[in-house]
Structures are given as C-alpha cells and as structure tokens.
Amino acid sequence: MARAALFAAGRTGERLDPVGQGFAGLRALAPVQRLPARHHRAASGSQGGQELIHFYWALPLGLTLFAAAASANNASKQEGSLDPLLLEEVLATAEISYPLLLAALQEREMAQGKALSAEGAFDTKLSLKSEQNQFGYYKNRANGARVEQPLADWGGEVFGGYKRGQGNFGPWEQDILTLSRGEWSGGVRLPLLRNRETDERRTDLLLARLSVELADASIEKQRLKLLETAAKSYWDWVSAGRKLEVAEALLELAQARIRQVEEAVAAGEVAAIEIVDNQRALLERQAAVVAATRELQNAGFELSMLYRDAQGKPQVVGRERLPEFPEPAATPPEQVEEDLRIALERRPEIAGTLVEVRQSQAELGLARNQLLPELDFTAQYGRDAGDGSITKRGSEFIAGVTLKSPFQRRKAKGAVAVQEAKLEQLDQKLTFARNRVEVEVRDSVSALDAALQRLELARAELDVSQRLAEAERERFELGDSTLFVVNLRELSAAGARLKVIGALADCHKAEAVYRAAAALY
C-alpha cells in the first residue's frame, strides 16, 4: 500500500493512499519535483539548462514514485482477496469464545446446581425399620416402613406407613404391637403460626433460585464489559494501522528526496548541509515507522485475545484487513433519554441489586416468622388387620396441637434487625447504582460530542497544514526556504493527520462506551 497520501483531506471513507491515481496522484500529494535554483550558471543557455536540470531531477523522483504507485496497486489487488475485519465479527467471536466469559457462564450452572440442591429439602423420604429381641424376657420382632412428603406450599408434611409388631411387648411398648397382618396409617402435620407462610426450607429454595438471577446479572455485567473492551481494542488496532500508514508516507517523502538533494548539491544549487538534514529526517522517520509498527503489533496482539477462531485460539489479524473508519455521528438528545430509560431497566448492576433486595426480603420474612410461636396441628389415622389383641382391632384417629416457643426470642429479634439494616443498605446501593448508570450514559455522550468536535477541528487543521506545506514547497522552489522548514511543515501536516485518526478512534470508542453504559449490546 502506498504511503504518499499524507496530506489527504482526512474525511471518513477516504484511503490514506490514492491507489489508482498512479504517479500523477502521488506527485500531486508530495510535489518535490523542483529545488531552488539559487546558484544558476551563466545566463547564456540558462533557460534550456534549467529545464534540463529540472528534467534530470524529476526523472529519478518520477521513477521512484511510479514504482511506489505500482507497488501500491499490486498490494491493493492482493488485499482485495481479504475482506476488511468488521467490528461485528470481533464482537461475535468474543461473545462465544472469550475464556473468561465462558468461565463466568459457569456461575449460572453452579447457581442452578445449588437451587437443585435446595429442592432436595422437599424430596420424598422413605424410611425402613426392622428390629428383633430374642434374648430378653420380652421376645418380639418389629418391621415397618414410612413415607414422608414435605409440603412446599403450606409447610408441614404428609406421611403414611406400615408396621408389623409380633411377640411379647412390655407395657411401655404396646404401640409397637399390631395385629397379625400389621397396621396401615397416614396423617398430616400442618403449622398454624410459625412456618405457615414460610420456613427455612422454602426460604433456602427461594434464595437459591434468586441466586440464579444474580448469576445472570453478573454474567451480563461481564458480557457488556467484554464487548466494550473488544470494541475499544478493535478501534485501537484500526487507529494503529492508519498511524503506521502516515509514518510510512513521511518516510517515503524523505527517501524520494535523497538522490534529488544529492544532485542539487552536486550542481551547486543548494548547500551541502541539506544532505545532512535530509539524512536526519530520514533516520527520524525510520524510527517513527518502527515505533508505529510496534504499536500496530501490540494492538494486534491485544485484539487477538478477543478475536478467536472456531477452536478458541487467538487470531492475529494482518494489516491487510484494516477497514476504513466509518463516519461517526452524534446521538440526538431524545435518543439519549430513551436509551437512559432502557439502561435503568437493563443494566445488570441495577438488576443484581434488585435481586439482592428480594433475597433480603425473603430472609427478613423468615426472621419475622421465627418470632411466632411454633403451633402445629397433627392428625393421624391408623387401622390394624388380622388376628390378635382385642385392643388393636378397629380404626383409630388421633388429632391434636403442639405449642412451643422461647420467651425472649432474642435470636429471631436479632435476625430481624440484621435484615432490616441490610434492606436499608441495599436501598442506598440501588440509589447509587441508578445514579452511576445515568452518569455513565451522560458522560459517554459528552465524550462522544467532544471527540466529534475534536474531529472537526483536526480536519480543519489538516486542511490548513496541507496548504502550508504546499506553500512552503513553492517557497523552497523559489529559493526562499530550506529543506528543514519544508520538513517541519510536512511533520505538522502529518501531526494533523494523526489528530484526525485519533479523533476518529476516540469517537468510535466513546460510542462503544455509550452502548455498554446504555446496555445496548
């Protein structure tokens, strides 16, 4: 790619090198075809001699620039086989293959595992029992099975079972004794005060399910940050590539002048110090190319951490896939307000804090539940079958209540105080999170507006610097300037071009921050 487009207008969509314009286009951008004729020879034949000298000066420069243009055309044909890397590609691959985001996704799996574990408190329980006493005074045997099912909606549990007790039992063991075919029974236990609305099992399950939502909020927060980082890395890479083109264009200008200045010095038309000055400029610009190349390499390596192949391996993208900067645009105020409304609904920091509020409310409900006395109602029905003691024949139905409660209830009161304080704390955190989101959205809009203003000013500066450089070259041709001043003007124009590139990159990076702040990714 030719680098002689140092003084391009700087508008979005315009390449830094006028590929396709050939030698004429390159010359028009860097006209160094004539040096001052301040030491012309005798007037006799001076006009023809001057034209001949100008021809010899222009010929090597023309060949050099023509070769550069041809190389640029060949390079552009090769580059045409690779499409420019688009931001959407980087974001898509980052979202599906970035290791830290994939690791974060496991937070949800872990939370779902904990929720499943909490559901285990409501598993149906089966218990079996078998006993024999063949050595004591009372010889007997007893077998039984019991099934219990906790109730998730009302608390308590339902239960049923079968038991069979045969032999001789002491007076204190008569409840084990059954008729010959055993006893079938079933019943229910229901809390009337404590544990009716909620209990530890139901609260733990609710907290575990809310933890899944909390994990989702955490994952979304990391996803938004990842996409913001990926977009910034992408624009840093594009910016570094364009800056390298500017450095290479400056270097080519210095290289194109080497033979020209040497011939002018040999002809006595410029001072010998101009050769030294051009060598200084050449070395300075070579160092700038090395630095810019390193900056592009670093940006490419950073981008490769986010742009990965199908196997998840980092891809270092070559400069042949550098895209053009799209034209940035300001966000209308009404759109900002709409995006802010969306951000306050979608931002994971707010969503996560709201989940924490619900968790704390659940724990507060449990703490208040513990303040209530434990009053349980129990009803049980049983019936024996077979032969045996007359006292075991027929059905029996037992119902009753039990009451239990500590007097001070300090444990429950302390838990209530803790959760009430935590809710107040979360309320302040929620207020801050909403304030933070609004500030981030408005600050990113401000950054974008400032970058757009800088872009406009940089383009104006580039236009002025380009005209100054052209004027300085004309003065140099007339013998009213030096190569040192021409170099300064070229560096000034290059600096203005770099400002345009930097402002374009800042515009798009500010837009990336805005999209993340407004949760638009």
Digit-coded pLDDT (tens) for 74-132:
444 344 448 999 999 999 999 999 999 999 999 999 999 999 999 999 999 999 999 98
DSSP H or E segment with residue 518: none
> 181 in helix, strand or coil?
coil
pLDDT in tens, 177-220: 888 888 999 999 999 999 999 999 999 999 999 999 999 999 99
pLDDT in tens, 404-428: 988 888 999 999 999 999 999 999 9
Task: Decide if 334 is inside a domain.
Answer: no
Distances (CA, A) of 471 to 20, 38, 358: 26, 18, 71
Residue 19 has pLDDT above 90, yes or no: no
Task: Decide if 310 is inside a domain.
Answer: no
pLDDT in tens, 449-478: 999 999 999 999 999 999 999 898 888 777
Domain residues for the domain of 413 are: 112-209+372-417
pLDDT for 47: 38
pLDDT in tens, 118-169: 999 999 999 999 998 888 888 889 999 999 999 988 889 999 999 998 888 8
- Strands (E) located in 174-276: 183-191
Residue 30 has pLDDT above 50, yes or no: no
Task: Decide if 437 is inside a domain.
Answer: no
Read off φ and ψ for residue 317, nearest 5 degrees.
Answer: -90, 135
pLDDT for 177: 86
pLDDT in tens, 236-247: 999 999 999 999
Longest Cα–Cα distance in the chain? 153
Residue 9 has pLDDT above 80, yes or no: no
Q: Residue 420 CA to chain centroid, in angstroms?
A: 35
262 confidence band (pLDDT: 50, 70, 90): confident
Considering its fold, how many domains does the chain have in total? 1
Q: Is the CA virtual torsion 479, 480, 484, 488 positive or negative?
A: negative
Percent of the chain with pLDDT over 90: 64
68 confidence band (pLDDT: 50, 70, 90): very low
- State both tokens at 99: 């290791």
Task: Identify any residues that bridge with 483 across adjacent strands, giving them in sequence order.
Answer: none
pLDDT for 24: 30
Task: Identify any residues that bridge with 314 across adjacent strands, giving them in sequence order.
Answer: 308
**Residue 339: closest CA among 272, 437, 198:** 437
The CA distance from 320 to 50, in Å, is: 43
Percent of the chain with pLDDT over 70: 84
Residue 6 has pLDDT above 50, yes or no: no
- Whether the CB-CB separation of 366 and 199 falls below 8 Å is answered with yes
* Helix, strand, coil percentages for the chain (3-state, nearest 5): 65, 10, 25
The CA distance from 474 to 487, in Å, is: 13
323 confidence band (pLDDT: 50, 70, 90): very high
Q: Output the average pLDDT for the chain.
A: 84
